[in-house]
């Protein structure tokens, strides 16, 4: 049969190649971001400081402070947040069978933010409490939106979006209500944090440990979602059909739902609500590399990381020394891209 010749199914090799390419771009973005900043450090000094830090040679110079204390944590956080939001967005789009699904649009980010705020009020000093509360907020919101978005027992696109908008507005109102009522100075910073802020210092002394924890959670959640990527490909052609092909649809949806909520909660809890990333990065990755989720999930993750690192770098440099919040940058760039996507049509 002439079958094999024309089919080019996805292979792990191809995935690695594309991810390698994207990782290279990410690396370049990181290098640029390391180089750029209000504190002048030459490339040579950057490399030296990084090297010293890597081999553990103690270095109390200011270079060390700036690079390891300010720039690297910011970049590391940016990568984490970008990857989490994009992967979560890709998951939601499959789960809800809606290309407009994104943690921000669906109000999930607001739910996570509300959870984080409540935990700041109730237990401001418990490490990890914010993350947990943000996850709960995200999960509860997506559950509510999922159930509200059904019509006659089936998920309906229009109803779903409406439910998301309603949820987002409602949660934002509660957040504003909280902000007006409660008085703590910590809460006042939240208005800023609600726009996306990568400068938050880790709540623990052990910076490496903190980031290790965050990345570990990301790896587990994204990994869990990745195991369902074959299933998601099938589900996207129809839930019933996927069931007939042997997909345990209920289980897959549950895994994706939990994983996407964890990822959203993680991102929002460390950096506030950043919009459009979860919506646009998966779309662009689809346009570039196709809709196969076995490739889409890793490319979305890396793509999201690139976007956030670049947005943050730009935000630091356009109107220096004032810094534009990351959320503002993604919205500024995101809206035109969104409009462009909306205008593409099939003939």
Contact set for other proteins, span 136-175 (CB under 8 A)? 153, 156-158
Contact flag: residue 58 with other proteins (CB under 8 A): no
Helices (H), the chain: 3-6, 12-35, 43-55, 62-64, 72-95, 108-122, 129-148, 157-181, 185-193, 207-227, 229-235, 239-244, 249-271, 277-289, 293-317, 326-343
Residues in a beta bridge with 154: 151
Q: How far is the CB of 284 from other proteins (least distance, A)?
A: 9
Six-digit token string for 12: 């792990």
Q: Which of residues 255-294 bind other proteins (CB under 8 A)?
A: 283, 286-292, 294
Residue span 7-46 as binding mask against other proteins, x where in contact by CB under 8 A, dash where not? x-xxxx-------------------x--xxxxxx------
Q: How far is the CB of 140 from other proteins (least distance, A)?
A: 25
Contact flag: residue 128 with other proteins (CB under 8 A): no
Region from 142-150, 163-171, 233-241, 301-309 binding other proteins, contact rule CB under 8 A: 233-241
Region from 43-51, 78-86, 92-100, 299-307 binding other proteins, contact rule CB under 8 A: 92-100
d(CA 173, CA 56): 48
Q: Which of 95, 100, 222, 270 binds other proteins (CB under 8 A)?
A: 100
Toward other proteins, which CB reaches closer, 54 or 346? 346
d(CA 306, CA 29): 7
Q: Which of 325, 329, 331, 334 binds other proteins (CB under 8 A)?
A: 325
Q: Which of residues 164-223 bind other proteins (CB under 8 A)?
A: 180-181, 183, 185-186, 188-189, 192-193, 197, 199-201
Closest among 129, 114, 272 to 179, alpha carbons compared: 114
Six-digit token string for 339: 């409009």
Toward other proteins, which CB reaches closer, 10 or 23? 10
How big is the chain, counted in residues? 347
Cβ burial 180-219 (10 Å sphere, 16+ → b, else e): eeeeeeebeebeebbbbbbbeebeeeeeeebbebbeebbe
Contact flag: residue 318 with other proteins (CB under 8 A): yes
Six-digit token string for 279: 């919506």
């Amino acid at each position: 049969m002439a079958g094999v010749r024309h089919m080019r199914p996805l292979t792990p090799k191809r995935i690695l190649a594309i991810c390698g390419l994207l990782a290279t771009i990410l690396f370049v973005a990181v290098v640029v971001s390391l180089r750029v900043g209000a504190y002048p450090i030459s490339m040579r000094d950057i490399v030296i400081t990084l090297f010293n830090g890597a081999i553990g040679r103690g270095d109390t110079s200011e270079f060390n402070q700036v690079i390891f204390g300010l720039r690297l944590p910011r970049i590391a956080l940016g990568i984490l947040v970008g990857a989490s939001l994009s992967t979560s967005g890709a998951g939601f789009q499959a789960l809800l069978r809606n290309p407009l699904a994104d943690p921000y649009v669906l109000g999930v980010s607001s739910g996570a933010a509300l959870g984080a705020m409540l935990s700041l009020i109730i237990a401001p000093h418990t490490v990890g409490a914010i993350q947990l509360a943000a996850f709960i907020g995200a999960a509860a919101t997506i559950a509510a939106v999922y159930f509200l978005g059904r019509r006659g027992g089936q998920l309906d696109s229009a109803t779903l979006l409406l439910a998301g908008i309603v949820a987002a507005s409602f949660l934002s109102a509660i957040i504003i209500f909280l902000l007006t009522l409660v008085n703590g100075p910590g809460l006042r910073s939240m208005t800023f944090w609600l726009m996306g802020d990568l400068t938050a210092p880790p709540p623990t002394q052990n910076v490496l440990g903190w980031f290790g924890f965050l990345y570990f959670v990301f790896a587990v959640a994204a990994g869990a979602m990745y195991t369902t990527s074959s299933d998601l490909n099938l589900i996207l052609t129809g839930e019933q059909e996927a069931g007939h092909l042997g997909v345990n649809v209920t289980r897959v949806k549950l895994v994706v739902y939990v994983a996407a909520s964890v990822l959203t909660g993680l991102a929002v809890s460390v950096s506030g609500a950043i919009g459009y990333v979860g919506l646009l990065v998966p779309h662009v990755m689809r346009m570039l590399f196709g809709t196969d989720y076995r490739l889409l999930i890793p490319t979305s993750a890396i793509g999201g990381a690139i976007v956030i690192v670049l947005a943050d770098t730009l935000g630091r440099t356009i109107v220096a020394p004032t810094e534009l919040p990351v959320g503002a940058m993604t919205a500024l760039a995101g809206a035109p891209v969104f409009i462009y996507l909306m205008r593409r049509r099939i003939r």
